[in-house]
Amino acid sequence: MTKKIQKLSRRQFVAAAAAGTAMASGALGFPSITRAASTVKLGVVHPVTGFLQFSGTQCRFGALMAIEEINAAGGIESLGGAKLEVVLGDAQSKAEVGAAEVEKFNEAGVSAIVGAYASGICLATTQAAAKYGIPHVVDVGVNDKIVGRGLENTFRFGPGFGNITKAGTDGLIAINNAAGNPTKTVVIVHENTTPFGSYMAGLMKKGLEPAGFEVMDVLPHPTPNKDFRNIALKIKELNPDLVIPSHYYNEGVLFLRTLQRQRVVPKAIYSVLGGASSQYRFLTEFPDAAQYVLDCNHWFDPRNQKAQALRQKTEAAGKSFSYEVFLAYTAVRFAADAMERAGSADRGKIIEAMAASTWSDHFMPYGETRMVNGQNQGALPMVLQVQGKEIEVVHPPRFKTSSAVFPRPA
Amino acid sequence: MEFLGIEIPLYSWSTVIGSAISGVFLGAIYALVALGLTLIYGVLHIINFAHGSLLMLAMYAVFFLWHLFGIDPYLAMLIVVPGGFLFGYGLQRSVIGKASHGRDEIVLLVTLGVAIVIENAALFLFTANERSVQVPYDLDGIDLGVTFVVWPEIAALAGSLLITLALWSFMTRTDTGKAIRAVAKERQGARLVGINVEHIFAVSFGIGTACVAAAASLLAPTYAVNPQFGYLFVLIAFTIVVLGGMGSFVGALVGGFIIGITEQLGRLFLGESLGLITISVIFILILLFRPTGLFGQKV
């Protein structure tokens, strides 16, 4: 048998070399060398359908506003003005669906992900993103396990459970002390369907009892929940000084309205991540139920004009300026700033930039960003109170816009 | 107190009675949703998976009549009930009846498809935001001592009783009602005596939808609507239809009250989540002794 040796023509050789170079570049992951990046893909995933749909759509709105503003201002300057190209995902209020959306994001070649509102969904999406080394900025999800698992790709710009309950407890103690300690007995009401309410309630109880408060009972409820009359009756029987609720928006509204309907009037309602308590929408629709309710929650720096401008823009679009909007907005801004610092759309470089970020050009009361194990150390909540037609900051003192009305007038 | 390893808290009698009373009002709401469902099942022998979506659509109709024109939800009943009837009639005549080709197994899938289309259309048109009706009498009512009952809850109870009476009267005293009962009992025989069976199917579906529209008007002052709203009530409504006896209005009413009271007392003593198991327990117990339901006809 004779071996046939095919001689390559010069044309064939050049074509093969070009193909080989392109393949090698792709395999080595140097897209910025072989092509000019005109867009950088950003995955944005939230529960825009299902029982968390209100909060999810608010988050998505905030994220899209930030993307639009960044692009209008010229995009990512260090990437030649590359615009942010959003890849949207719907977690359908389910953790497994959120994780599936991350798989799609990876297929689409996103450089980073922002999302996914609820703690349970964030736990899944960050884990899925970690498989592919995709940087993931958590916008809201407060469960401390989100950033406590050693995933190098995961960053949370806002505060977590531990920080929020400590701030909530400290705020309550300070407000109670300032008023001459009128409240002592407490009933905690919380949702127990997602990894948010139960954990929050446990931390609150641990923080309040050493401070001299007596936790008479802890009353869990599912999410969604269509009836709070039993809980209202139990609170009526126990007659605590203080009720501390912790749930999502829909349940928050129904709970506060039920207390009002059943004439259950504790000395104060002090919610921690109360869902409805510091929402302008609730204040507008049910002003009587909302009056004097205190809430330890995410909030912007009230002195910052950028926050006020964003509020006006949000309300002009017919949306309520809720924590979901401004947290998702700042999460996208944080991600974009990291891309700017990295000067690259490469996932690994963006992770490094996020970990070393010192971003301070934001309107949250967090100061200069400092990430430790993915958690922004300066992040903190504020204690808010509905007074008249406004939501005032009543604690901490350096951000106060009004003094707390505590206990509420009879 | 401990029972089967579960810690059962003890409450005062006023709390227990207050919970039972709230169960009556909750049961009235369940009955409102179940009435239309039991009529549709009793006549068409189909489980209408679109029932929850129709309730949600009716709630949106009530909301927008209030939001755009300032029409009180109870007055809106004068518009949404006839509107619901026409919508249900048209849906059965033009969509469900035609798509199912008379086969029950296809009807189930068609109603499921209708539910998905309606829900997603609502999500697209109205977004995910909850919409609430605000009425000035929301907090006024009667203090029963053990609990406070507001006018919207009283209206829902009165509504469920009146609608049950109206349906029963319609079915027993009108020619159309008799025709509906004839079709429900013996479809072929009804056709042979000259009853337009397809028209009767559509009328029944229309009346069922009208019932759900009435329920929407009565629920609107208490509950906010979103595209997922139907799921809150319709699954329990299915339970009540079976419990009360399929096709029985009185059964739907009584079943609603039984489930409402059982649920509230169960949630009081066993917790808001675990307490829901009492619905399944009472359902199984009743069917063990009355397999056709409380007021169902014996086979």
Query: Is B134 within 8 Å of A286 when comparing Cβ atoms?
Result: yes
pLDDT reading at B123 higher than 90: no
Distance CA A112, CA A125 (A): 12
Residue B49, classed as helix, strand or coil, is coil
Report how far apart, in Å, the C-alpha atoms of A145 and of each of A59, A150, A357, A373 are.
21, 9, 22, 11
| Residue B113 CB coordination number (10 Å) | 15
Identify whether the C-beta of residue A388 lies closer than 8 Å to the C-beta of residue A284: no
Give the helix/strand (H/E) hosting A116. Answer: none
Q: Point out the residue among B11, B130, B223 whose CB comes nearest to the CB of A237.
A: B11
Chain A contact present for B131, CB below 8 A: no
Identify whether the C-beta of residue A297 lies closer than 8 Å to the C-beta of residue A382: yes
Question: How sure is the predictor about B297, in pLDDT bands with cuts at 50, 70 and 90?
Answer: low
CA atoms within 13 A on the CB side of A172: 31
> Is ipTM strictly over 0.90?
no
Domains along the sequence of chain A with CATH:
34-159+303-379 (3.40.50.2300), 162-297+383-399 (3.40.50.2300)
Q: Point out the residue among B18, B128, B232 whose CB comes nearest to the CB of A53.
A: B128
Question: How sure is the predictor about A95, in pLDDT bands with cuts at 50, 70 and 90?
Answer: very high
Structure tokens at A259: 């207390």
Identify whether the C-beta of residue B62 lies closer than 8 Å to the C-beta of residue B220: yes
**Structure confidence by residue, pLDDT tens digits, A315-357:** 999 888 999 999 999 999 999 999 999 999 999 999 999 999 9
Residue A96's region, left for phi above 0, alpha for psi from -120 to 50, else beta, is alpha
Q: Which domain holds residue B282?
A: 2-289
Residue B252 lies in a domain: yes
Give, to the nearest 10 degrees, the angle between helix B230-244 and helix B277-289: 20
Residues in chain A: 410
Residue B189 lies in a domain: yes
Distance CA A115, CA B63 (A): 32
- The amino acid sitting at A283 is L
How many domains are contained in chain B?
1
- Percentage above 90 pLDDT, chain B: 43
Residue A385: φ, ψ to 5°:
-145, 135
Chain B contact present for A238, CB below 8 A: no
Q: Which residues of B touch A222 (CB under 8 A)?
A: 272-273
Please report the beta strands in A103-247, taking only residues with DSSP state E, as ranges in sequence order.
112-115, 136-138, 154-156, 185-191, 214-221, 242-246
Name the DSSP letter for residue B217: H
Number of H helices, E strands in chain A: 14, 14
- The amino acid sitting at B243 is L
**Matching residue, tokens 């469920």:** B160
**Structure confidence by residue, pLDDT tens digits, B215-224:** 999 999 988 8
**Structure confidence by residue, pLDDT tens digits, B78-117:** 999 999 999 999 999 999 888 877 677 788 889 999 999 9
**Cis amide bond preceding A224, omega within 30:** yes
Chain A contact present for B174, CB below 8 A: no
- The amino acid sitting at A162 is G
Q: Point out the residue among B12, B226, B233 whose CB comes nearest to the CB of A237.
A: B12
Task: For Cα atoms A196, A375, A301, give the angle at the middle one, nearest 5 degrees.
Answer: 85
For chain B, the straight-line distance linking the first and the last C-alpha, in angstroms and rounded, comes to 43
Of the candidates B62, B59, B56, B206, the one whose C-alpha atom is nearest the C-alpha of residue B119 is B56
Mean pLDDT along residues B278-282? 88
Query: Is A230 within 8 Å of B268 when comparing Cβ atoms?
Result: yes
Identify whether the C-beta of residue B78 lies closer than 8 Å to the C-beta of residue B233: no
Residue B136: CATH number of its domain: 1.10.3470
Distance CA B187, CA A28 (A): 72
Chain A contact present for B14, CB below 8 A: yes
Name the DSSP letter for residue B92: I
Structure tokens at B111: 């109603």
- The amino acid sitting at A253 is V
- The amino acid sitting at A258 is T
Identify whether the C-beta of residue A345 lies closer than 8 Å to the C-beta of residue A176: no
Distance CA B115, CA B177 (A): 27
Tell me the whole-structure pTM to 2 decimals. Answer: 0.82
Identify whether the C-beta of residue B276 lies closer than 8 Å to the C-beta of residue B266: yes
Distance CA B156, CA A362 (A): 50
Give the ranges where A29-94 is alpha helix by DSSP (H).
31-34, 53-72
**Structure confidence by residue, pLDDT tens digits, A24-69:** 444 444 444 444 458 999 999 999 988 888 889 999 999 999 999 9
**Structure confidence by residue, pLDDT tens digits, B31-71:** 988 998 888 887 777 788 899 999 999 999 999 999 999 99
Chain B contact present for A50, CB below 8 A: yes
Chain B contact present for A222, CB below 8 A: yes
Report how far apart, in Å, the C-alpha atoms of A261 and of each of A249, A374, B153, B158, B224 are.
18, 44, 11, 19, 16
| Residue A178 CB coordination number (10 Å) | 13
Residue B79 lies in a domain: yes
**Structure confidence by residue, pLDDT tens digits, B136-194:** 888 889 999 888 999 998 998 999 999 989 988 998 899 999 898 888 888 889 889 99
Residue B296 lies in a domain: no
Distance CA B207, CA B37 (A): 10
Q: Point out the residue among B15, B130, B232 whose CB comes nearest to the CB of A233.
A: B15
Give the helix/strand (H/E) hosting A379. Answer: none
Chain B contact present for A57, CB below 8 A: yes
Q: Point out the residue among A54, A221, A261 whose CB comes nearest to the CB of B150.
A: A261
Instruction: Rounding to the nearest 10 degrees, give the CA dihedral for residues B233, B153, B131, B228.
Output: 0
CA distance A221 to chain B (A): 5
| Residue B47 CB coordination number (10 Å) | 18
Dihedral (CA of A187, B141, A250, B240) sign: positive
Residue A143, classed as helix, strand or coil, is coil
| pLDDT for residue B43 | 75
